[in-house]
Structure 1
C-alpha cells in the first residue's frame, strides 16, 4: 500500500469500527427500552381495563340488587334479573353474561344460541375449558381470566379478558369481558414507533459517519500531498547535497593530483631530462641528478598512496578495522602534533563491510572536525563490542560546541554525514560537549553471526 492509502486506512477503519460498535449498542439499547415501554403500556392498559371490568360488573350487580336482596328467589325475579342484565351493554362488543355453577348458560345477549346449553366441557382454540376456568376464578375471588372467544362484531376468535363473580343465593356467575385487540394494537403502535426511532437514529449516525469519513479522507489526502511534497523537497535537497559532496570530493582529488602529483611528476621529468643531458655530455653530477629524480619519484609514489588511503585504506581490506583505525590515529598524531590514545577491544572479530567502513569514516570525520575546530591537545578513541553490536567513542579536551545548533550551520556537513551513516545502519548516536571537551558515542548493530 502507498503511504496515502495507509494513512486513509488508519484514519477511517478505526472510525468505522467504532461507529459499528456504537450502532450495535444503540440498537440493542433502543430495543430493550422499546420492549420495556411496550410492557409498561400493556401493563397500564391492562390495569385500566381490569378496573373498568370490575366497575361494569359492580354496576350490573347494583342494578339487580333490589331483586336479589329483596329475598325473592322465585323464577320470576330471576327472569326479570336476566332481562335487566341482558339489556346492559357498553361499546360495540361489551355485554354481560350469566352462567350457573354447573356450567349452563343462563343469558348471553350476543350469542342467543348458547342460552340454556351446558357448556361445562367447551374449550377454546388453545384447549382451555373456558367455563370451568371462569367458575374457578370466580370462586377463588380473583375473578380475572384470559381465554379465546368469538368476537361478535368480526366473528373471529380473539383473546379476551373477563371478570366474573359469584352471585350468592342464586348460584349464578355474572361477568363481562373485553377483547384484547385494543391492547395488541397499542403495543404494535409502540413497537412501530420504536422501530421508526431506531431507523431515524441509524440514518443520523450514518450521515454523521459519512461526513466524518469525508473529512478524514480529505484531511488524509491533504496530509499525504503535503508529506509527499515535503519528501520531494527533502529528496531534492539530499540529491543536491550528494552532488555537491561528489563535486567537492572530485575537486579535492583533482586539486591534490594537480598541485601534488602533477607538480612532482613534472619535477621528476625535468630531473630525469637533466640527468640524461648531463650523462650524454659526460659532465659530472648526472648520477646525483638521477638519484634526486628517483628520490622524488618515491615521494610521488607516497603521495599516490596517501590519496588512495584517503579514498579507502588498504589496511581496512587486508588487516581489518582495528589496524585501519590505528594507522589513521598514528597519521593524525604525526600530522597535527596531538596526543592520540587509541584503545581497541574488538581483537580479530570480523565485522560486516558496511559497518567497518562506516566506523572508519566516522573516526576519520571526527578527527577532521577535531583538527579544524576543537583546539584540543588530547584525543581518545575507544572501540569495543557492546550488547547489540559494536560501540565507538571519540573524546577530546577541546573548547567544545553546541550540539543543538551545529548541524543547522552551513558548514555542519561532517556531523550530518556521520548521523546519516549511523541512521542508515540502524545505529544510535549521542553527543555531549562542554567547555572542557566533547564526546561522541556511536553504537552500530551487528548480527550475532
Structure 2
C-alpha cells in the first residue's frame, strides 16, 4: 500500500499565503499580480497532488478493510468450528471416563467371583488331601452303597472339580477381555485428552488473531478518519485559494483595461460602479461597450434589455455552453476540455464579457438576489448537494422553463430539469442575477 506523509504543513502554508494575498486587492503593478497568480496556481497544484494522494490512500485503506473483514469472518468461523469440536471432545472424554469406571467395576466383580470360586476349589482339594474339612471327598466316596454307586460318586466329584476349574478359567478369560476393552478405552481417552490439549492451543491462537484483527481495524479506521479530515481541510484551502485566484485575475483584468476617454468618463460618472466586494470576495462585472453613438432613447432601451438579461452579452452567456454539451466533469476545470460547476459558470460569463468568480461560495454572493418566481434566463441557480440547507454546493445557469445548464458530476456539461427529481429536491431557492 502506498504510504504518504501529508501533514498540516501544506494547510499552514496555504493559510499564510491566503492571508498574505488577501491583504490588498489592488497590486501596484500587473507583474506583481501575475507573480501572485503564479504562486497561487503552484500552491493549488500542490494541494491537488496531496488531495489525490490522500484519496488514493483512502481507497487503499478501504480495500484493506474489506480484506480484513473477510479475514475476521474466517477467524470467527474457525473459532466457532473449533469451539464446537472442543465441546464434542469434552463430551466424548466424559463418556469414556464413565465407561472406564464401568469396566473397572466389572473387572472388580469378576476378580471377586474368581477368588470366591478359587477358594471353594482350594478348600475341596485341601479337604481331599487332609481327609477333613467341610466337604470330605473320601466320606462321600466311601459312603457309597455298592460299587456302582462308588463309581458314580467318584465321577460326580470329578465333574464338580473339573467344572469349577473350567469356570475359573472362563472367568479369567472374561477378565482379560474386560481388561483389553479397558485398555482400548484408556487409549481412546488418552487420544481425546491430547486432542483437547491441541484444541486449547488452537483456540488461544484464534483468540489472539481476533484481537490482532480488531486492533488492525481500529488503526485503519483511525487513519481513514485522519485522511478524511485532511482531505476536507485541503478542499477548503483549495476553495479559498480558488476564490483568491479569481480576485487576482479580476485585478489583472482591471489593471489591463484601457483608460476610458473623457467623454466616456462623463457618461459613466452617472452610472453606479460595477466593482463590488461581496462577503470578502472581489467581484468585477463588465459588458461589451457599444462603439456606436446612440440617442438617449436607444440608450434607455438598451439599459432595460440589460436589466432583463436579454442583452447580446447575456445572450452569449446563455448560449455559450451548448456547443460543449457532454464535456466531462473535471474538478477545478474552467475550460471546454473539462468543467466543474463554478468553473463553467465563470467561463460562460467570460464569453459574454463578464468577469465573475470561479468558486461556488463566491458566486453565491455575486450580483443581486432575486426570487425564483422572478428568475430569468442567465440568472445563477444554486443547489444544496454537499450538506444541510444553505450549503450552495452546486451552481448552474438558468435557461427558463425550469431548465438550467451546468457541469454535473455524473453527466458532465448538460441541461437538467429542476422541476422534478434530484434537482428539484436539492434546489434551495437561491437565485442570483449578474447585473
Pair in the same fold by TM > 0.5:
no
* Bigger-Rg structure (1/2): 1
TM-score, scaled relative to structure 2: 0.36
Q: Which of the pair has the greater relative contact order for Cα pairs under 8 Å at 6+ separation?
A: 2
TM-score, scaled relative to structure 1: 0.35
